[in-house]
Amino acid sequence: MRCAIDEALAARDQGEVPVGAVVVVDERIIGRGHNQRERLKDPTAHAEMLALTAASAHQSSWRLERCTLYVTLEPCAMCAGAIVLARIARLAYGATDPKAGACTTLYTIPTDPRLNHCVEVAEPVLADECGALLTEFFAAQRALGKK
């Protein structure tokens, strides 16, 4: 999770919402990503999506069956769907997302038995630290009259 937090800090430093993600297999990071929606002008450029794409390229396969995804914020519905479709084995996230969380908060997409794959979802990891990054970022944005 510390490496995902480093990615979140990179997003923050670029003026993006500070969310970071890493994909790990056999204790090795094979994909990294941080939010780049503003920079890329792309609504799908979430940290998770970019990390999954990088991991798939590294593995030369869209199937990431033995991988764990660490992300600093509970994934949204789009990302949770991509996590299932990539067949990620395990998901560990930091802060819960009461407005858009699709893994345990509002929806339970990764563990929905109606889908073709279920993902093991860990209890929140370093939730306070991950949440503080977001709280500080949005407080700073409001002080500047943004977001």
Residues 139, 98, 134, CA angle at the centre, nearest 5°?
Answer: 30
Structure tokens at 27: 């204790």
Cβ 51 vs Cβ 18: under 8 Å: no
Structure tokens at 54: 């990088």
Catalytic residue among 38, 48, 74, 129: 48
16 noted as active-site residue:
no
Give which of 18, 23, 94, 90 is closest to 58, Cα–Cα.
Answer: 23
Q: Which amino acid is at 19?
A: V
Q: Would you please indicate which residues are annotated as catalytic (active-site) residues?
A: 48
